[in-house]
Amino acid sequence: MPDGYSSNLARGADVNRGRVVGMKIHDCHVFMECLLPIAFNSLPTPVLNPIIEISHFFKVLCFTTLKEDDLTRMEQNIPFILCKLERIFPPALFDCMEHLLVHQAYKARLGGPVQYMWMYPFKR
Amino acid sequence: MEEAPNEQTQRFYNLLLDANTPLYERASDSKLSMWVKLLACKSNWDIPDQCLEFISKMLLDVAPTNSNLPKSYYDAKRLVSKLGLEAKRIDCCVDDCMLFYDNGSNKNDGALLECKFCHKPRNHDHNTGVSNKKPVPVKAMFYLPIIPRLQRMYASTQIAGEMTWHYDNKSSNGVLRHPCDVEAWKHFHRVYPDFATEPCNVQLGLCSDGFNPYVQASNAPYSCWPIIFTPYNLPPEMCMSKPYMFLSCLIPGPFNRKAGIDIFLEPLIDDLKKLWSGVLTYDISRKQNFKMRVTLIMTINDFPAYGMLSGWGTHGKLACPHCMEHIKAFRLYHGGKNCWFDSHRRFLSNDHAFRRNKNVFKKGEVEMDGPPPKLTPTQVWNRVKNYPKVTDPGVQRIDGYREWHNWTKRSIFWDLPYWKDNLLRHNLDVMYIEKNFFDNIFNTMMNVSGKTKDNEKARMDSNLYCRRKDLELKSHDNGKMFKPKANYTLAGDQIKHVC
């Protein structure tokens, strides 16, 4: 990964106990968009596919320039991806945050690229 | 046609010219830079006042001529404050019922000595005998007026030229690079054509979030709310960068005041109203005076703050502010949490195979409803216009709260005359959604105990609501139940592989 792209994730990984600790919000962002498909490639394909799709959805949504037709397509696709996740995971996973994703592509179409509407710059 | 700057701006330029003269002949630093450096010591490293006095004395002794150096810390502060951009302190009631301030038109609370609502005193009690001292307010907020800050942007040669970027660089081919390319912006300009014709008019975004300033030292929670502005006129590389974000209010803690945040936004909204009708400003890039008008196009929040600013509460079953009362969330019987399971099929097309599937989603249910209607801003306004504001006396709960709606108040932003023509009024931060989404999925797949969403209760619920043979709890020979491994969690060695 390029220098300064994210923090050193390997430092937080605890191999023996099998968990990753101390991830900041931006690390989650990087992990979600770049590493998720690679890290979980040992899962069976029907489970892995929607996860890759959701990771790709976030990646496209966070581009600095968006295309209007892309967003319209994403708006139609995201319920389908979420339905596929619903088939796999138990109902308890689906709290409000999962649901809000349905509206995000529409919002981006109304309001412009996501980078003008998030709080990374304010958090520093 | 070139014009001379208006009186106010001219005064500022004169002061600046004076402040930029060098300290003494052939000195590298100007007067201003010396003053500011001294103040920076204070703010960056929190140096005691006495130490600054000492440093300024030391400088006075060293410099060849001492006419231009500040005599003391107080002197430096006084000189810099002449340049404008002051911060106001507004006293507020201890229980956050009201602010003691005048807005010049219909509100004259500046002279009150006790709260109108709870009758608690404004100032600390004096000890008897020292009554000639200045009264000390119990609580105060900081307000940094926004008008002079925006005017200052047009006074700078570097920034003033960039403020019309959005007007000169309109894209037409469906590529969205900047908020000015999108529907909400264009819609607003269609509704207010007189606003759109002046490229120097400013579009603002507002961001607010709570944070705890005493992270290390305190164990008691303290939540302080800064309100930050950013102008969206600037080109993408300057937009949302640090020099172009203006702190406007600093709302003191120690408690998160939920819907009551509106009370502290009052001075800000008054200023925004003034800015909507126009404020005389000098634009140095065109060398003209013009009437600057400003709109607030959206607010940026995380999910809890969304509830505070928009007035639609983000708790409970009706949390989603887009679906509103059409939501299909329900409470899990075992887990006891609200759940949005199976509320996404309705967004699919009418003939989609998933809609008729009775097995993989909720047991035996088919989905025939269409997606929830998207309300226009006018429809929303018609709903909220009769609700009480937080600042009204005797505020009560609105009827039917948590039953068929989640409105807690009429947000103060509706006071802005143009707010009901904004398509996108409040904005959720994708960053947080992504983070929470990631946490849920990651912890479930890695099977982190305590954080995974796939615990015994979840399995019991999934048994109740869906047909999932593989997720059922099984019993050991000794009668204890156990959770068979699901296909979405990783086995022990696979988890190690991920790390």
Over residues B318-347, the mean pLDDT reads 78
> Do residues B93 and B231 share a domain?
yes
CA dist., res. B279 & res. B150, Å (int)? 10
Domain assignment present for B385: no
- What residues in A contact B231, CB-CB < 8 Å? none
Angle at Cα B133 formed by Cα B129 and Cα B136, nearest 5°?
115
B499, pLDDT greater than 60: no
**Contact flag B320-A31 (C-beta cutoff 8 Å):** no
CB contact (8 A) between residue A83 and residue B303:
no
pLDDT at B23: 77
pLDDT at A117: 67
Separation in Å, CA of B31 to nearest CA in chain A: 31
Q: Report residue B493's pLDDT band, with 50, 70 and 90 as the boundaries.
A: low
Residue B283: pLDDT above 60?
yes
Mean pLDDT over B421-437 rounds to 81
Q: Are residues B203 and B71 in the same domain?
A: no
Domain match, A47 and A100 both: yes
Question: Per-residue pLDDT for B279 more than 60?
Answer: yes
> Is residue B404 a part of any domain in this protein?
no
Kindly state whether residues B334 and B284 are assigned to the same domain.
no
Do A8 and A54 belong to one domain?
A: no
Nearest to A68 among B174, B239, B434 (CB): B174
Select from A39, A88, A122 the Cβ nearest to the Cβ of B209: A122
CA A53 to chain CA mean position, Å? 9
Q: Residue B371: is it exposed, middle or buried by C-beta count within 10 angstroms (0-12/13-18/19+)? A: middle
Q: Is the pLDDT of residue B256 over 60?
A: yes
- pLDDT band at residue B368 under the 50/70/90 scheme: confident
Task: Clarify whether residues A64 and A34 are in a common domain.
Answer: no
Mark whether A98 and A51 lie in a shared domain.
Answer: yes
Which chain A residues are Cβ-neighbours of B323 within 8 angstroms? 99
Beta bridge partners of A108: none
Shared domain for A53 and A109, answered yes or no, is yes
- Cα angle value B250/B251/B255 (rounded, 5°): 145
Of the candidates B255, B56, B283, the residue with the CA atom closest to the CA atom of residue B159: B283
Would B195 be classed as within a structural domain?
yes
Tell whether B59 is covered by a domain. yes
Contact residues, chain A, for B348 at CB < 8 Å: 79-80, 83
B255 and B222 together in one domain: yes
DSSP conformational letter for B102: B
Q: Are residues B182 and B282 in the same domain?
A: yes
Contacts of B427 by beta carbon, 8 Å cutoff, 6+ apart: A107, A111, A117, B298, B299, B300, B301
pTM: 0.82
Burial label, B285 (beta-carbon count in 10 A; 0-12, 13-18, 19+):
middle
Buried b (16+ CB within 10 A) or exposed e, B165-192: bbeeeeeeeeebbbbbbbebbebbeeeb
Q: Identify the H or E element spanning B155.
A: helix B146-155
Q: Which residues of B touch A80 (CB under 8 A)?
A: 348, 352, 354
Q: Which of B62-76, B414-428, B473-487 has the highest mean pLDDT?
A: B414-428
The bridge status of strand B202-208 relative to strand B474-475 is unpaired
| The pLDDT value given to residue B240 | 75
- Nearest by CB: A65 against B177, B342, B494: B177
Q: What is the DSSP string of B345-409?
A: GGGS-TT-GGGG-SSSSSTT------PPPPPPHHHHHHHHTTSPPTTSSS--PPTTBTTTB-B-S
CA of B313 vs chain A CAs: smallest distance (Å): 13
What distance in Å separates the CA atoms of residue B230 and residue A121, rounded to the nearest whole number? Answer: 11
B321 occurs within a structural domain:
no
Are B168 and B283 within one domain? yes
- Mean pLDDT on B207-220: 69
Residue B270's domain comprises 88-122+135-307
Residues B344 and B483 in one domain: yes
Instruction: Sort out which chain A residues have CB atoms less than 8 A from B228's CB and list them.
Output: 122
**One domain, residues B100 and B174:** yes
pLDDT of residue A11: 66
pLDDT for B498 beyond 60: no
- The minimum CA-CA distance between A4 and chain B, rounded to whole Å, is 18
Residue B360 has its nearest CB partner, among A14, A58, A87, at A87
Specify whether A33 is located in the same domain as A62.
no
Least confident of A92-106, B93-107, B472-486: B472-486
Residue B1 lies in a domain: no
Number of structural domains in chain A: 2
Higher-confidence position of A19 and B121: B121
**Average pLDDT of the segment spanning B214-236:** 76
> Is B174 a domain residue?
yes
Least confident residue range of A45-49, B41-45, B296-300, B337-341 = B337-341
- Residues A49 and A4 reside in one and the same domain: no
pLDDT confidence of residue A12: 66
Whether the per-residue pLDDT at B470 is higher than 60: the answer is yes
Least Cα separation, residue B433 to chain A (angstroms):
6
| Range with the poorest average pLDDT among B121-130, B266-275, B441-450, B485-494 | B485-494
Residues in B closer than 8 angstroms to A92, CB to CB, are 332, 335, 337, 339, 453-455, 457-458, 461-462
A50 lies in the same domain as A35: no
Residues of chain A with pLDDT under 70: 1-22, 117-124
Of the residues B185, B186, B493, B498, the best mutation for testing chain A's interface (the one with the most A CB atoms within 10 Å of its CB) is B498
pLDDT band at B66 (very low <50, low <70, confident <90, very high): low
Closest chain A C-alpha to B276 CA, distance in angstroms = 21
Which DSSP letter does residue B283 get? E
DSSP A70-87: HHHHHHHHHHHHHHHHHH
A6: containing domain: 1-39
Q: Do both B268 and B337 map to the same domain? A: no
Residues B191 and B292 in one domain: yes
Residues above pLDDT 70, as percent of chain B: 85
The residue with tokens 């504001």 is: B389
CA distance A92 to A90: 6
Residue reference for tokens 């600046």: B16
Nearest CA in chain B to A40: B498
Is pLDDT of B218 > 60? no
Verify that A56 and A115 share a domain, yes or no.
yes
Query: Can you give the pLDDT at residue A19?
Result: 63
B179 and B59 part of one domain: no
> Does some domain include residue B402?
no
Residue B146, pLDDT above cutoff 60: yes
Distance CA A119, CA B196 (A): 28
Whole-number mean pLDDT of chain B? 78
Q: Same domain, yes or no, for A33 and A59?
A: no
For residues A30 and A81, state if they share a domain: no
How many beta-carbon pairs under 8 angstroms link A with B?
248
Overall domain count for chain B: 3
Shared-domain flag, residues A101 and A53: yes
Averaged pLDDT for residues B128-142: 74
Q: Please indicate, yes or no, whether residues B76 and B194 belong to a single structural domain of this protein.
A: no
Tens digit of each residue's pLDDT (9 = 90 or more) over A3-17: 666 666 666 666 666
The pLDDT assigned to B375 comes to: 80
Q: Do A91 and B341 touch (CB under 8 A)?
A: yes
Please report, to the nearest 10 degrees, the dihedral formed by the alpha carbons of residues B58, B60, B65, B67 taken in order: 170
Flag the least confident range among B89-98, B101-110, B433-442, B455-464: B101-110
Residue A22: per-residue pLDDT: 67
Distance CA B396, CA B399 (A): 9
Identify all chain B residues contacting A18, using CB atoms and an 8 Å cutoff.
446-447, 492, 495-496, 499
Q: Is the pLDDT of residue B405 over 80?
A: no
